[in-house]
């Protein structure tokens, strides 16, 4: 499970980097820039959820041992 979550975190970070390349800083809320912003926010949420999941699993493992 640890390797799976690491892979998902790396994929989410790769999506963040890809979506940054789609941004047009002159028109952030139009066209592809809006799609890029939504993708960045969704990827950041995914990373945060995965980090919280990993921390909860670590706490669960420590409490059972």
Q: What is the pLDDT of residue 65?
A: 76
| Domain regions of the chain by residue span | 2-60
Give the global pTM.
0.86
Tokens of 61: 């493992």
For residue 36, how many other CB atoms are within 10 A of its CB? 19
The sign of the torsion formed by the CA atoms of 43, 45, 46, 52 equals positive
Over residues 32-45, the pLDDT tens digits come to 899 999 999 999 99
Residue-by-residue pLDDT tens, the chain, 65 positions? 889 999 999 999 999 999 999 999 898 889 889 999 999 999 999 999 999 999 999 999 999 87
């Amino acid at each position: 499970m640890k390797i799976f979550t690491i892979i998902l975190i790396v994929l989410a970070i790769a999506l963040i980097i890809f979506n940054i390349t789609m941004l047009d800083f002159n028109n952030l809320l139009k066209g592809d820039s809006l799609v890029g912003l939504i993708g960045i926010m969704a990827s950041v949420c995914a990373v945060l959820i995965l980090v919280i999941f990993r921390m909860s699993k670590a706490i669960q493992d420590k409490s059972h041992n």
